Chain A
Amino acid sequence: MSGQDHGDDGVSRRKVLECMTWAGTGVLWTVTGGVPRSLGIIDSAEAATAAAPGMSFLQISDSHVGFDKPANPNALGTLEEAVNKINAVPAKPSFMIHTGDITHLSKAAEFDNAERIISQTKLDVHYVPGEHDFIDEEVKLYRERYSRGTKGYGWYSFDAGGVHFIGLVNVVDLKAGGLGNLGAEQLAWLEDDLRGKSKSTPIVLFAHIPLWTVYPQWGWGTEDGGRALEYVKGFGSVTVLNGHIHQVMQKVEGNVTFHTARSTAFPQPAPGAAPSPGPMKVEDAKLRSMLGVASISFKQNEQRLAIIDTPLQG
């Protein structure tokens, strides 16, 4: 497939750009043969489900349960709003992934509160940890809850709807001056996990910190992420889903689509737009337009994967 416009799915470059200005407020993105195409602005997740039937799953990220600072004094409350939004979608997704920072300070009560709210979706949830989930003294609370049947600090893979999903941990053993870190043991496991897989198997890699370098000055990247991407290079459809940066960002490189999800707790500034990546205080009326969840749909045999970011409001 080549060219900008062809067939019924074709959209003009102008249309794509027009849609990009709406990115994050409910745009249906599809990827065909590695080229991202916006199919137009949609009103809600319901419309998205109708537009792209087939296997779909949700991504939720950075719930930071326990956070109570000015940027959002009630992070548990906005997580609950996100869950209500998920429950309102008529077509039930297959499952959900949570890309880390479930809690703010790895306290038992924070994990318990998160579980109490997230379980109301009645969905299977596949977690990977964020750095905020590993800061209890013994680094055991996350692992006791979510690491059963996983390797190392909690990496694993599973298959669903013909897609191979791989959850990675890149928040452990970080080196001074560096970025996120996967480590040799996990990379060896990843290489082994992918060995023998048909190159036509769609791959979804998910981890907390972006596996691609978004903004190293703020630590937004993974030191050895490039090595993980080497292993998936030959596959026809690769989607990389991350959190950590509390904003929607997307990039396509060959057959690989990179995407980051919003937080349900607080927004963070665009790269370099503030003195630090810390929580960004916005007007109360604006907060919920900067928080949200993502829905990802996949159509078999079309190498098409659509990501819809839905804010809590707006």
Chain B
Amino acid sequence: MKTLNRRDFGVQLGLALAAAMLLPATKARADDMDVHIDNFVFQPAELKIKVGTTVTWTNRDDIPHTVVSAGKFRSKTLDTDDKFSFTFTNAGEYKYFCSLHPHMTGMIKVE
């Protein structure tokens, strides 16, 4: 470990404080969740999250899919590599499916 002079130490401390102050925002981003669509399957098929979490679905198939939860949210048609995000602001169980391939189903549990 290299030695620090007092001035460098002050800068380091300042950065650490800044990081600490930014922590809540950083933390919220880290909690955001991803669902991948691979081989006509939502993965993970069931997700438990906290209120305020944003979930992002990414379609990695060669076929378009949608993400639809009746009365709650509905993505546009997602072509290959397209994404759809939704922030869950209320607790509850959100069943969803692909309206093009309805055998594809998933669940988001928000606590």
B39 near A: Cβ within 8 Å? Answer: yes
Interface centre among A176, A216, A275, A278 (most CB of B within 10 A): A176
Interface centre among A104, A137, A179, A219 (most CB of B within 10 A): A219
- Secondary structure of the B contact surface, majority rule: loop
Task: Assess whether A276 is in contact with B77, with CB atoms less than 8 Å apart.
Answer: no
Task: Assess whether B39 is in contact with A275, with CB atoms less than 8 Å apart.
Answer: yes
B101 near A: Cβ within 8 Å? Answer: yes
| Contact residue among A71, A135, A217, A276 (Cβ-Cβ distance under 8 Å from B39) | A276
Report how far A276 CA is from B102 CA in the complex, Å: 14
The residue on B at minimum CB distance from A281 is B62
The residue on B at minimum CB distance from A215 is B103
Report how far A176 CA is from B77 CA in the complex, Å: 16
Instruction: Report, as a range, how many residues of chain B touch the other chain.
Output: 20 to 34
The residues in B between 18 and 68 inclusive whose CB is less than 8 angstroms from any CB of A are 39-41, 61-64, 66, 68
Report how far A104 CA is from B104 CA in the complex, Å: 19
A66 to B: closest C-beta gap in Å: 10
Interface centre among A135, A216, A217 (most CB of B within 10 A): A135
Task: Assess whether B62 is in contact with A279, with CB atoms less than 8 Å apart.
Answer: yes
Task: Assess whether A105 is in contact with B77, with CB atoms less than 8 Å apart.
Answer: yes
The residue on B at minimum CB distance from A180 is B102
Task: Assess whether A177 is in contact with B77, with CB atoms less than 8 Å apart.
Answer: no
Task: Assess whether A219 is in contact with B101, with CB atoms less than 8 Å apart.
Answer: yes
- Secondary structure of the A contact surface, majority rule: loop
A148 near B: Cβ within 8 Å? Answer: no
Q: What is the number of residues of chain A that contact chain B, defined by CB distance less than 8 Å? A: 25
Report how far A276 CA is from B40 CA in the complex, Å: 6
Task: Assess whether B62 is in contact with A178, with CB atoms less than 8 Å apart.
Answer: no
Task: Assess whether A177 is in contact with B79, with CB atoms less than 8 Å apart.
Answer: no
Give every chain B residue within 8 A of A40 (Cβ-Cβ). none
Give every chain A residue within 8 A of B96 (Cβ-Cβ). 176
A277 near B: Cβ within 8 Å? Answer: yes
Report how far A137 CA is from B80 CA in the complex, Å: 17
Task: Assess whether B102 is in contact with A278, with CB atoms less than 8 Å apart.
Answer: no
Task: Assess whether B39 is in contact with A278, with CB atoms less than 8 Å apart.
Answer: yes
Give every chain B residue within 8 A of A132 (Cβ-Cβ). 64, 100
B83 to A: closest C-beta gap in Å: 16
B85 near A: Cβ within 8 Å? Answer: no
Given contacts A69-B80, A105-B79, A176-B95, contact A277 B40 (CB under 8 A): yes
A-B contact pairs, 10 of them (CB 8 A): A69-B80, A70-B62, A105-B77, A106-B77, A132-B64, A135-B66, A137-B76, A176-B70, A278-B63, A279-B62
Binding site for A on B (CB under 8 A): 39-41, 61-64, 66, 68, 70, 76-77, 79-80, 95-97, 99-105
